[in-house]
Amino acid sequence: MATSTTAERTLNQLLIKDVPIPIATLDKKLRFLTYSQKWVSMHGLKKGFNGLPFFTVMNNLPKEFLPILENCLQGNSYSSKGKKFLSKNGEYISLKWNINPWTIANGDIGGLIIVLENVTSSKNKEESLKEAQLLSRIGSWEVNLQDFKVSWTKMVNIIHEQPHDYVPQTYEECFNHFKEGKHRDKLYELSNLAITKGIPWDTEVKMITGKGNELWVRTKGQAVFVNGKCVRLFGVCQDVNDRKIAELKYSEQAERTQRATAASNVGIWEFYTKDKFTIWDEMCFKIHHVDPKHTTAYEGWASSIHPEDFSRVLEEAYWLSKGKGNGIIEYRILLTDGSIRHLKAVATFVTNKEKGNNQAIGVITDVTKEKESAKRLREFSEITREQNNSLRNFSHMVSHDLRSHATNLSMVTGFLLDEKDENEKYKLMGMLKEATESLNSTVHNLNEVVQSSSNVYEQLIPIELKSVIETVINNINVLYKEKKARTIINIPPTAKVLAVPAYLDSILLNLFTNSLKYSATDRPPIIEINAIKNEKYLELTFKDNGKGIDLNKFGGKIFGMHKTFHRNKDARGVGLYITKNQLEAMGGNISVESKVDFGSTFKLIFKTP
């Protein structure tokens, strides 16, 4: 029991009451003796609990606190700079305390002096705000528009890379930190609107820091009005440089990607094997000529793909999902107008074993142009190869023929110089003439070959076919009669072809002389000529009943330059080779069907007027 006097107690109470800390004194039985005003406000109590037990008053304190107090009553002091407890009403509270026993005159412990601070709310709120401001690099500022005094937090200076004690001296100076040009102008405009119309702003602009660095900041501001007059501007300033730069970089890249895919006409797609679910981008629909409004991607694919390619593509996709193949699948699509486009897909499979689902992702492009040019290239190289071949044959033939004539000439001339016998001399002179004529004819033929290879398109004129045939028959009258030949011409007199007159003569003459030369020995030659005309071309068939040609043996060579140069008198030079060349030069062609001992049928195609 306390031995202090009432007067003492009253004094104590008065002293303690106004101490600006939460302090209280307890007696030995832990009943309140005195307490400060601060204690009351801090712990949310109502005054007038003198003499009441500590735990009755402080009913929110956890029970762990009792042994602490009891321990101190043994003469110990105990302090904590902050400890977290679960309070009886279930909230965490942080307490900070300092407990000391007090003694009476004989040295016995009379009770406890407790300083107990509840630091729960104050600690958390203040620190997290500080942290948040620091982390988000937000500073706040204020401009008094009456004296144009500016004040702002340290963070603004940190963001501005200015000395910590820097503060702009004038209103203008506030704006100098924003980058000159559109950024600074924007801020002028926004602050003007805030001052005149009270519209707050929130925008992102570039500023130049005290160290000369460019920096993106977010600035927010609003005006305060007193009696309809703007007196103050305040707001925050946040460093958003990293985010903004990343954002700008991303949008630039995204735009570039979009532009690139749009320009390269690449479609991007996804496909799930399990349910055939397909995702197409806009370009995919465009490439497949399918309207996204009317169909899903898979239906669009299935309806546009060429029916002949459908199962093959699914099969290739299956193998691809098993990791086979090079990831490229090509197919054709059939458009409504009947035309065909070639598409090329590059696919990668992503396997999801758990779900038993394979996902394919890839790109697709229209490669029709490439396909077509590749085809043209192949055709072109085929033509080149053919021309190369025939040129090589041609050169061998020229060499062969010129050599043989030249040799003959030189030998015969040699004999002639030495010959004494007049009869023999005469015979040699005849040979000399013959050899000279052969050489002449060879050179003539060479000319024809060279000329027929050059472009004669401009020289094509319409010619009546029937009258030309009749003229040619007249020209070979002697041989024709000798062979007792007959010709049936089933061509209307008005039928015309586009041809070079000299070529047409030469072609027909060649066919006639061939038929007569290689006529059957047991029957007179009968030649039948027919013509079928279609839109652009006239097809002329030239049929004889001669010896025929063994096409199995000569098929490929018959229009080539092999075996075509004969020295015998009636051989028309390089024959069928020239015929073929002349026809092709005029935009036509020639083919042959033949049966040994029955005859040959040549089919000639001419352009028509």
Partner 1 sequence: MAKTNSVCIIDDDSIFVYIAERLMKESNFCEKIIVFENGKQGIEGLIEIDKSKKEMPSIIFLDLSMPIMSGWEFLDSFANTPISNKEDLKIIVMSSSINPNEIEMIKALPMVTAYIVKPITPSDLEKIITM
Residues binding partner 1 (CB under 8 A): 396, 399-401, 403-404, 407-408, 410-412, 415, 427, 431, 434-435, 517, 563, 565-568, 571
For residues 220 and 566, which CB has a smaller minimum distance to partner 1 in the complex?
566
For residues 408 and 506, which CB has a smaller minimum distance to partner 1 in the complex?
408
**Minimum CB–partner distance for residue 515 and partner 1 (Å):** 15
For residues 221 and 575, which CB has a smaller minimum distance to partner 1 in the complex?
575
**Minimum CB–partner distance for residue 409 and partner 1 (Å):** 9
CA distance linking residue 181 with residue 532, whole number of Å: 82
**Minimum CB–partner distance for residue 603 and partner 1 (Å):** 24
For residues 18 and 422, which CB has a smaller minimum distance to partner 1 in the complex?
422
CA distance linking residue 146 with residue 504, whole number of Å: 108
**Minimum CB–partner distance for residue 494 and partner 1 (Å):** 38
CA distance linking residue 49 with residue 30, whole number of Å: 12
* 148 conformational bin, left if phi > 0, alpha if psi -120 to 50, beta if neither: left
Closest to 560 in 3D by CA, of 530, 543, 581: 581
What letter represents residue 547's amino acid?
K
CA distance linking residue 176 with residue 507, whole number of Å: 94
**Minimum CB–partner distance for residue 553 and partner 1 (Å):** 8
What phi and psi values does residue 163 have, to the nearest 5 degrees? -60, 150
Are the C-beta atoms of 579 and 506 separated by less than 8 Å?
Answer: yes
**Minimum CB–partner distance for residue 407 and partner 1 (Å):** 4
How far CA 525 is from CA of 514, 544, 601, in Å, comes to 11, 7, 13
Are the C-beta atoms of 483 and 547 separated by less than 8 Å?
Answer: no
DSSP, residue by residue, 303-315? HHB-HHHHHHHHH
**Minimum CB–partner distance for residue 286 and partner 1 (Å):** 55
Length of the chain: 609
For residues 283 and 412, which CB has a smaller minimum distance to partner 1 in the complex?
412
**Minimum CB–partner distance for residue 431 and partner 1 (Å):** 5
Are the C-beta atoms of 451 and 581 separated by less than 8 Å?
Answer: no
**Minimum CB–partner distance for residue 548 and partner 1 (Å):** 13
CA distance linking residue 471 with residue 451, whole number of Å: 23
Are the C-beta atoms of 374 and 367 separated by less than 8 Å?
Answer: no
**Minimum CB–partner distance for residue 566 and partner 1 (Å):** 4
What phi and psi values does residue 265 have, to the nearest 5 degrees? 55, 45
Name the 3-class secondary structure at 261: helix
How far CA 24 is from CA of 77, 112, 272, in Å, comes to 15, 8, 75
**Minimum CB–partner distance for residue 480 and partner 1 (Å):** 19
For residues 317 and 428, which CB has a smaller minimum distance to partner 1 in the complex?
428
**Minimum CB–partner distance for residue 440 and partner 1 (Å):** 14
Name the 3-class secondary structure at 481: helix
What letter represents residue 474's amino acid?
N
For residues 484 and 563, which CB has a smaller minimum distance to partner 1 in the complex?
563
For residues 123 and 385, which CB has a smaller minimum distance to partner 1 in the complex?
385
Q: What is the CA radius of gyration of the chain?
A: 56
What phi and psi values does residue 48 have, to the nearest 5 degrees? 95, 35
Residues forming a β-bridge with 84 = 94
What is the token pair recorded at 390? 């025939």
**Minimum CB–partner distance for residue 438 and partner 1 (Å):** 8
For residues 28 and 562, which CB has a smaller minimum distance to partner 1 in the complex?
562
For residues 235 and 573, which CB has a smaller minimum distance to partner 1 in the complex?
573
How far CA 496 is from CA of 222, 409, 591, in Å, comes to 93, 46, 20
Task: Give the pairing type, strands 357-366 and 328-334.
Answer: unpaired
For residues 408 and 579, which CB has a smaller minimum distance to partner 1 in the complex?
408
For residues 519 and 608, which CB has a smaller minimum distance to partner 1 in the complex?
519
For residues 376 and 392, which CB has a smaller minimum distance to partner 1 in the complex?
392
How far CA 233 is from CA of 149, 194, 197, 227, 380, in Å, comes to 11, 8, 13, 15, 79
